[in-house]
Structure 1
Amino acid sequence: MAPDGANAPADPERRLRMLLDVSNDLTRRLELPVLLRRLVEVAVDLLDARYGALGVIGTDRRLEQFIHVGIDAELAAQIGPLPEGKGLLGVLIDDATPVRLQRLSDDSRSSGFPSHHPPMDSFLGVPIRVGDEVFGNLYLTESSRGEFSAEDEELALALAATAGVAIENARLFEHRRQLELLDERTRIARDLHDHVIQRLFAVGLNLQATAGRLPTDIAELVVAQVAEIDGAIAQIRQSIFSLSVTGAAKDRVRARILDVIDRFQGRLQQPISARFAGPVDLLADAALTDDLVAVVTEGITNAVRHAAATKVSVAVTANERELIVEVDDDGAGPPDDVRLSGLANLHARANARAGSLDLVQAEGSGSRLRWRVPLRSAD
């Protein structure tokens, strides 16, 4: 039997004030992990529940995160692994509609609890949507009034809607911060590549030229120092690559293109330069990344083998509508017959994406290979 007042509704004015405070609070907290835990804490307080949790749905339609409140760390360790999204939790993932139960054990979809898990009877679960996506579910158990009411369900849905907006804002904030960090790392890498390496390279060439006019014993010392400079250049190139490749970023466009360029370094009189503009890594999926790497590889190969170039530059530009790769060289210019074997492959890759490939005279002298593909249909 429920205690006196167990089914009495909570003060609606207090709940409204709390919901408004929560809305302001959540929109101020931009760190997503902090926001999610705060959301569960607020939900437990707002709906007078003893336990609360938030399950984040992964790409495999299982729970990839499970943030819980009400069970301390020691008890959680005794219970064991966090839920993966089976039983009633899995039902909420597969059918994103609210579930409200007076007793969990009475529902045939409930899979029970592991050892050491505290008893839980009343249950309320609602989906959290971010735009058209179901981000996860908010779970509450053990209402202080014995069971959750229809009013509780409405309040939980309102809180979930607020949370959806806050989560979307947090994602945008993190996205923007990652872009800023990526741009800063790219700027540093570009400065190292375009200024420091080129100056060291020029110093090495000058020393090599000077060594030819010196006595043998002194020339050997100079050549040894040139080797040290070459080693320093190799280390700087590795540092540049490390700035662009961290953890899961090994397959990003910038990293893979810089890797291609690094393999060609030393085959021209001047270092190959690279320039990136726009959110290249964010707009290119794995298949498009493969195409871009092929374009850069073939463009540099043609410049080295067929154009007798001494200088090559690579530019990759992306916006919300299109992605463009340009490979410029100072070689002999485009031949009259541009049916080079590699270009047929690049033409095919461009055509498959409703794009284009051009090999034209660059400004001044040399050639410009320009590969362009739309990222989405024009409005």
Structure 2
Amino acid sequence: MNLSPPSGGVAVISRYGVAVLLAGAAVAISYPFRAHLYTTPLLFAAVFISCWYGGIGPAILTTIASTAAIHFLLRLPGRGFTPDVHDLPRLAEFVFMAAVAIYLVQARKRSEQSVRQARDQLEIKVNERTADLQREVNERRRAEQAAQTAAQMAQSHVDMLLHSVDVLATEAAPATFIGEMLRTIGHHLHAQQVRLWLRSQEDDSLHLRIAIEGEQQIGLEPNHPFVRDPQSWHNSRLIQEMLFTKAPVVCEDVARDARLAPDHRDYLTNQGCKRFLVIPMFVLGEVRGFIAIQHAERGMYRAEEIELAQALAHHVMFATHGQDLSEQRRQGAILKERTRMARDIHDTLAQGFTGVIVQMEAAEEALLEEDPEHAVRHVRRARDIARESLGEARRSVHALRPQALDKAGFADALRNVIQNRTAGTSLRTDFHLDGEPRHLPANVEECLLRIGQEALSNALKHAHPTEFQARLAFDANAVRLELYDNGKGFVVDRVNDGGIGLLGMKERAEQIGATLKISSEPGVGTKITAISPYQPAAG
């Protein structure tokens, strides 16, 4: 039963009016049958309905009216209306029952209201929980989709990495590897063209390294604005944005992007390019170039496409930087070999020519003194020195050990070189050996021998001494070579960095970890000391 009374002032009147009508109706119905019926139930029903419909106030009014009706109006004829003490229990019973009914009805209404409130709250909570579950389901779906996308991206990265390793293992030329990686980028991103641009570290110009269209490598496109003017990229707002943010830059509409210069837009439009993606490439945190990926259809780049392009760009930069380092190492090796050959040629041919000149001058003096026998002897020595120097030059080309060390030990080889170069001349030479000779590494013997040859050659060419002394000492911790001449001498600071001879001696000393000291004084002579510590035994 769900009776809802009106609200407001009309509600009050209606509730009390209904109470009066109910009481009156109960009396009217009960009155004709007062002699035959028990009238209390109808009046009790009126109280019950008034309480249910109108509340406590109308119920009390109905109770009072019903009590009065029972006491005064429903009395049997002949008894009058004088109060009778015998009627009091009946009236008290009715009032008690009415009060209990009112209490129960109000309790029922409060209970129903509590149930409705609990139901409403439960419904709200259910709706909230349902919404939470729906949000959680949606989030899980999005997470699953993101995880699936990430897994696909990871698989793509793995596939690209494996492909890169396969290409690196099968392609010997780095340029071929780079071209293959650009083809891979174009294939997986369905690109129209892929270009690799690199910055020059010398003048910060931009150079097109490789351009790929489809599966083919194309020419270097002389009409491209950046190719016509390698410095014009500094005026490109789009490229400058990439340099500033150090992040990929997207152009999704070539025709309307205000960051493009007019000549650049015209060039791309003529090629049928509708959008493109620029991926920076880094070396030690610095942008050294970028990859431009062109597309012939309009659309938006997805985040996973940009991430994939970045991952592949790292592979390309790795290969490009490796190729540059390889080229630098190759150039360094060429320069090192040229330096070695120049030093060896100086140590062989130049020093040999010095010995030839000394012997020819001695032969000339012998002829002037009418001593043809000594003259012939000097000419033969000059010939032998020339042949020996030519042989040493040939051996140096192939980086072979000096012939003098192959024929004798280090001390004897040094002694023989000094004697052969100065035999028959007025130069007095002296060679001293101190200590017990020890076995030295081949490179140490060769470098010390070359230092001794150069010191002797410089003395013969420039100092014109009358004495030349060499001392080879095997000390406790190092081998020491001292070379002295009493020639003209020189100021060391003025020629410290000049001449292949002095520079060659320093380089050879550095090769074996030796210390080289050159002291000289004009008019007194020159002393050169090389000290090479013994190398620890292996194991």
> TM-score, normalised to structure 1's length?
0.53
For residues 334 and 195 of structure 2, the distance between their equivalents in structure 1, rounded to whole angstroms, comes to 32
Contact 1:44/1:140 (8 A) holds in 2:
yes
Contact 2:192/2:296 (8 A) holds in 1:
yes
For residues 321 and 509 of structure 2, the distance between their equivalents in structure 1, rounded to whole angstroms, comes to 24
How far off its partner does 1:161 sit?
1.7
Q: Say which is worse superposed, 126-135 or 166-175, in terms of deviation.
A: 166-175
- Whether 1:176 aligns to 2:329 is yes
Question: Residue 108 of structure 1: SS of its match in structure 2?
Answer: coil
Sort the Cα spacing of 1:73 and 1:178 in 2 relative to 1 into closer, same or farther, 3 A.
Answer: closer
Letter in 1 for 2:305: D
Aligned to 1:315: 506
Residues 315-373 of structure 1: CA deviation (Å, up to 9, x unaligned): 14899xxx9995636x56999xxxxxxxxxxxxxxxxxxxxxxxxx9xxx71569xxxx
Contact 1:316/1:326 (8 A) holds in 2:
no
Percent identity, aligned pairs only, is: 22
> Aligned runs of 1:120-139 on 2, under 5 Å?
120-139=273-292
Contact 1:29/1:35 (8 A) holds in 2:
yes
How far off its partner does 1:108 sit?
1.4
Aligned to 2:447: none
The structure with more strand, counted as a fraction of residues? 1
- Whether 1:63 aligns to 2:206 is yes
Larger Rg: 2
Alignment partner for residue 47 of structure 1, among 179, 189, 198? Answer: 189
Question: Residue 188 of structure 1: SS of its match in structure 2?
Answer: helix
How far off its partner does 1:210 sit?
0.6
Letter in 2 for 1:267: H
For residues 311 and 245 of structure 2, the distance between their equivalents in structure 1, rounded to whole angstroms, comes to 19
Letter in 2 for 1:129: F
Contact 1:51/1:68 (8 A) holds in 2:
yes
Contact 1:47/1:143 (8 A) holds in 2:
no
For residues 367 and 97 of structure 1, the distance between their equivalents in structure 2, rounded to whole angstroms, comes to 60
For residues 275 and 199 of structure 2, the distance between their equivalents in structure 1, rounded to whole angstroms, comes to 23
Aligned to 1:99: 249
Sort the Cα spacing of 1:195 and 1:23 in 2 relative to 1 into closer, same or farther, 3 A.
Answer: same
> Aligned runs of 1:191-340 on 2, under 5 Å?
191-214=344-367, 266-268=461-463, 297-299=494-496, 314-316=505-507, 328=518, 331=520
How far off its partner does 1:122 sit?
1.4
Structure 1 gaps, min length 5: 1-8, 234-239, 241-263, 271-294, 304-309, 336-360, 370-379
Contact 1:129/1:160 (8 A) holds in 2:
no
Aligned to 1:76: 221
Residues 214-251 of structure 1: CA deviation (Å, up to 9, x unaligned): 169999xx99xx9xx99xx9xxxxxx9xxxxxxxxxxx
Letter in 2 for 1:45: H
Structure 2 gaps, min length 5: 1-148, 390-395, 397-458, 466-491, 531-539
How many residues align? The count is 263
How far off its partner does 1:99 sit?
0.9
Task: Kindly indicate whether structure 1 or structure 2 has the higher relative contact order, using CA contacts under 8 Å at least 6 residues apart.
Answer: 1
Aligned to 1:278: none
Question: Residue 272 of structure 2: SS of its match in structure 1?
Answer: coil
How far off its partner does 1:178 sit?
3.0
For residues 307 and 529 of structure 2, the distance between their equivalents in structure 1, rounded to whole angstroms, comes to 61
Aligned to 2:68: none
Residues 109-129 of structure 1: CA deviation (Å, up to 9, x unaligned): 111346664131111111111
Contact 1:54/1:139 (8 A) holds in 2:
yes
Residues 263-313 of structure 1: CA deviation (Å, up to 9, x unaligned): x9953459xxxxxxxxxxxxxxxxxxxxxxxx8744378x9xxxxxx9996
Letter in 2 for 1:122: R
- Whether 1:17 aligns to 2:159 is yes
Sort the Cα spacing of 1:99 and 1:81 in 2 relative to 1 into closer, same or farther, 3 A.
Answer: closer
For residues 297 and 324 of structure 1, the distance between their equivalents in structure 2, rounded to whole angstroms, comes to 23
How far off its partner does 1:64 sit?
3.5
Sort the Cα spacing of 1:173 and 1:61 in 2 relative to 1 into closer, same or farther, 3 A.
Answer: closer
Residues 9-38 of structure 1: CA deviation (Å, up to 9, x unaligned): 9x8656752443024425775755444444
Question: Residue 356 of structure 2: SS of its match in structure 1?
Answer: helix
The structure with more helix, counted as a fraction of residues? 2
> TM-score, normalised to structure 2's length?
0.39
How far off its partner does 1:314 sit?
4.0
Aligned to 2:301: 148
Aligned to 1:366: 527
CA RMSD in angstroms, aligned pairs only: 5.0
For residues 298 and 210 of structure 1, the distance between their equivalents in structure 2, rounded to whole angstroms, comes to 32
